[in-house]
Structures are given as C-alpha cells and as structure tokens.
Structure 1
Amino acid sequence: MEELFGQHRLQSKATKDYQLVFGENRIEISSVGSSLSYRRYAGNELATEAMIVSNEDPVIIGVFPNTPLFTPAAVAKNVYLKFKTPVVVDQRSRVVIYAKMPIEIGVYRQSKDEEMLIDSFSRGRQQYALYGSPESGVVCRYMETEVSTNIDDIRPAKYEEALVRIGIKNDIDNVIKVSKLIIPMDSVILDHAHDDSWLPGTVEMDLSTSFGKDIVHVRLANTKVKRSDKTSIKAKKEETLVFLMDAGY
C-alpha cells in the first residue's frame, strides 16, 4: 500500500482527482488552470479548501505527523499523558518505559528550504486537561495511555498516535509512583516510517530534591525542533525544551 506520510509531487497542470484518505477525512487535489485546488472533506462535508498557485512544477505537498497542538486551534503547547498503569520506581534508580501520545496530520506546501502549513486535522477526538491550579495551571492536550518496559507491547494507531520513549530517573531517597507526565511540545518534529510515527529521542523525567522539596524536571533529549520562525523544514537537535512539574507525580 502506498505510504500517505511524505512528499507528494504534483503536476500543476496535469493533476486530476489526486486523493489521500485518512479514515473519514478525504483530501482531493486537482488542477484548475495553472493552479492546484486543495480540498479536504470530513465525511461528506467540505472542511477546508485552498488554491495553490506556483511557478514551480512539480508542486510539492508534504503530509506529515504533527504534534497535537493545532486542532481545532492552537491552545496548548504541552501534552499531558495519564498512565493507565502507574509506574513504581525504586529510590536512586532509573527506568525506561514506552507509551503513546496523540498526533495530528499536517499538510504543508513545501518549496526548497521553506514550508507553510495549509491544513491540520486529527482522526481522533481531541481531549484537553488543565495541569495545575485554576489560577496558574496550563492547558494541555490530554491522553490516557498504556505503558510498558517492552517497546513491542505498545502499538500506536496509524495516523492517530505516536510512540514515546520515556526515561524516569529517581534521585530521591524514596520509592515513587509516577502516574502522569507533561511533555513540552512547542515546535517539535515527529519522525515517521511506513506511516508509523514516533517522538525522536527520549523524554527525560528527572526527580530530585532541593531544600527539602521534591522537584520534577521534564526535558526532551535529542529531539528535533524546527527553526524558531517555524517555517524551515530543516531540523536541529535540541535538548532545551523543559517543563517543571509539581510534586505529586
């Protein structure tokens, strides 16, 4: 079966009824004069449309897994994972577990080193949750997920979920129970192959004590992040995305 994620090279004057189907979402691209008509239907209803006008031929349309931050609107920069099975970690030890996170599907107009997001949608139902107090908490994209120390036990649904590798380092003198994780996601790029998706690198959750108080730092290690203007398709390695969680992990 043809892979849907990746670059699609389309002739601006010769493309007829080019279709990509993601469940109930159907993308149709066709030539209209010297331009390309882009339409996405959700069921039988037109969800979005655009006209792509370019002097380039072929025109490159990129379809990729996106972090779940754009649909229905850009209201969150973090993903809140609730573990269906809490993870108990011994004192002064480190474990690696695997989990799933939600994704969206992004459609880009690509040209040389630049790209523009022209459409974003999700096959799954979007869920959001507030992490922290009503006064100072942050809104996060939310998902409950299975966890396992065996990567083969976690099977993300194509076009809906991505695999996440999580390292939990317990540097305090007590056994801890971890039941949730907040992952910073701003500008992060997901990887894909054969239409499977995953978050590159590792989400590092470090628990330590400072001045008698437990501190939980979450950072992304060896994760690809877009250039700050968010238009470049070139990625760089990044280890500076950090979220400070409250005690009560």
Structure 2
Amino acid sequence: MFGRYRGTFRREYNDILVEAESAGGLLTYRRRCEGKTFERILVSNTGEVVINPVEPVNLPKEITNFLQVEFSPMMIEPGASRTVYLKFPVEIGVFVESARDIEVLDVFALGTQKYALYGSPTNGVIARYYESVVYPEIPSVDPFREGVMELSIHNTCREWVEVSRVVFESTDMKIYYGDFVAATATMKLLTKTMAETDFIDAPLRPGMVKSVELYTARKIPAIDRGYLMEWGL
C-alpha cells in the first residue's frame, strides 16, 4: 500500500481501502478504515498520490508533538551501552504532490490512540502513549499498525539507572519503510532521572524508503534538537 501512485489505483488491506477512481472526467480519492470514510475530488494533470507512514501524533486530532513509549523496566549499569528494539504506533499519511508543492490530503490509522501526561500537571507535556515489549532483535509487526524502533541506550552516569520509558519530540522523527516500518533512535542517560533522546536519519535496513514528513508538507520548520527528559525515566 505504501508508495506513489498516479491516476487511478486501488489498494486494500484487511479493514483498509484506499483508492483513486475516475468518473465523469474527475478523479476522486477515497479512503475507508475500520468503517470511517474520507473522500476528496482531485484536480491534477501531473500530480501523484503518496502514501507512507507518518509521525504518530495526529489522531484523533492534533494535540501534541510528543511520543512516549513505555516498556518493562531495564537496569543499565554505569557506562554501559545497549541497543534494543521497541514497537511504536503507525499512522498513515496520504499526500498530493506536484512539481511545485506537496500537501497533506489524509491521515488515518488502525485502532485507537491513547495519550498521557509526562511530568507535572503544571510543567509536563501531553504525549501519545504506547506500551511495548523490549526485544533483543527486530520483532515481527503488522506494518500498517505498528513499527519497529531501534533504540540505542548509553548510560553516562556513575550509577545504575532504571529505565522504563522513552519520550521523543516527534518533529525530529525520521521514518523509513520497506517490509516493515522503522525508526532509529538514541537515549543518553544523564542522571538517574534525566535523559536526552533523539532520532537518527538512517534506514534500519538497506533499501528502505524514507517517508515524507508531515512537517515538511505543512511547511513547518523542524529543527532537529532532540528532547530532554526531565521528569523521570
């Protein structure tokens, strides 16, 4: 389903249908996902429809730029580094692209979305919330429901640190897709309660395609600055 399409097309996967149909000289984009539908008429001579996974912070409406993944607690010894794999939620973005411009047409996803407060009620942030198992190797995933995050953790402290969640600024997120959806991230433990997180702009496997980012299509400047977790690990 992910990819670029020109003119008419039809793609189905379980409860998802995405198509562009021509009738009476007009091209109509139509999407159905778990009973919810969306439709728009497209007027274009050369444009393409682009479908790819996007930053999972847009549904049911845009309320945050933060993503929090919670997992079983890990104890990291002083100076240790370890790469593990987590799952993260996938949202699907549909764009219309021409030689001069690209616009967001539609965003949808399977399942429901949960949000949680990270930090204090006065200074904390609302984050898209997701629970994952910690995997030593790349796990199998449903490519239209969840992705694989490679997370490299480094403990710069002189103490053991317990970690049970990671929080990201989603504007830094770089998503790639192929047989599955993937992102690569880092987490540097600064103290027993603070860490720096960031994404790496690189495919998890050779040959993966980089997704169009929502912030690019919306013309919002995105500065890759990472995120400082100040409210516990």
Normalising to structure 2: TM-score of the pair?
0.85
Q: Tell me the CA shift for residue 29 of structure 1.
A: 2.0
Distance 1:229 1:177, change over 3 A: closer
Given candidates 183, 187, 191, the residue that maps to 2:168 is 183
Q: Tell me the CA shift for residue 122 of structure 1.
A: 0.6
Given candidates 216, 224, 229, the residue that maps to 1:240 is 224
Q: Is the 8 Å Cα contact of residues 54 and 212 (structure 2) preserved in structure 1?
A: no
Q: Residue by residue, what CA displacement relative to the aligned partner does 1:227-249 show, whole Å, maximum 9, x if unpaired? A: 8962399xxxx993311112531
1:105 aligns with 2:95: no
1:40 aligns with 2:31: yes
Bigger radius of gyration: 1
Q: Tell me the CA shift for residue 124 of structure 1.
A: 2.2
Distance 1:239 1:29, change over 3 A: closer
1:79 maps to what in 2? 67
**Cα RMSD (Å):** 2.6
Q: Tell me the CA shift for residue 33 of structure 1.
A: 3.0
Counterpart CA distance in 2 for 1:246 and 1:232 is 29
More strand by share: 1
Distance 1:232 1:127, change over 3 A: closer
1:40 alignment partner, SS class: strand
Q: Residue by residue, what CA displacement relative to the aligned partner does 1:171-204 show, whole Å, maximum 9, x if unpaired? A: 111111110000221163411113x1101xx321
1:217 aligns with 2:217: no
5 Å matches for 1:84-95?
85-95=72-82
Q: How many residues align?
A: 224
Given candidates 137, 141, 146, the residue that maps to 1:161 is 146
Given candidates 135, 143, 146, the residue that maps to 2:130 is 143
2:190 maps to what in 1? 208
The one-letter amino acid of 2:186's match is E
Given candidates 42, 47, 54, the residue that maps to 2:44 is 54
Q: Residue by residue, what CA displacement relative to the aligned partner does 1:54-98 show, whole Å, maximum 9, x if unpaired? A: 122xx4211101111222111121110000x22211111111111
Q: Is the 8 Å Cα contact of residues 174 and 211 (structure 2) preserved in structure 1?
A: yes
Counterpart CA distance in 1 for 2:82 and 2:23 is 55
The one-letter amino acid of 1:22's match is Y
Distance 1:72 1:94, change over 3 A: same
Q: Is the 8 Å Cα contact of residues 188 and 226 (structure 1) preserved in structure 2?
A: no
The one-letter amino acid of 1:50's match is R
The alignment-based identity, stated in percent, is 27
Q: Is the 8 Å Cα contact of residues 104 and 214 (structure 2) preserved in structure 1?
A: no
Normalising to structure 1: TM-score of the pair?
0.80
Counterpart CA distance in 2 for 1:42 and 1:227 is 21
**Bigger shift: residues 21-30 or 223-232:** 223-232
Q: Residue by residue, what CA displacement relative to the aligned partner does 1:101-123 show, whole Å, maximum 9, x if unpaired? A: 10101111121363211111011
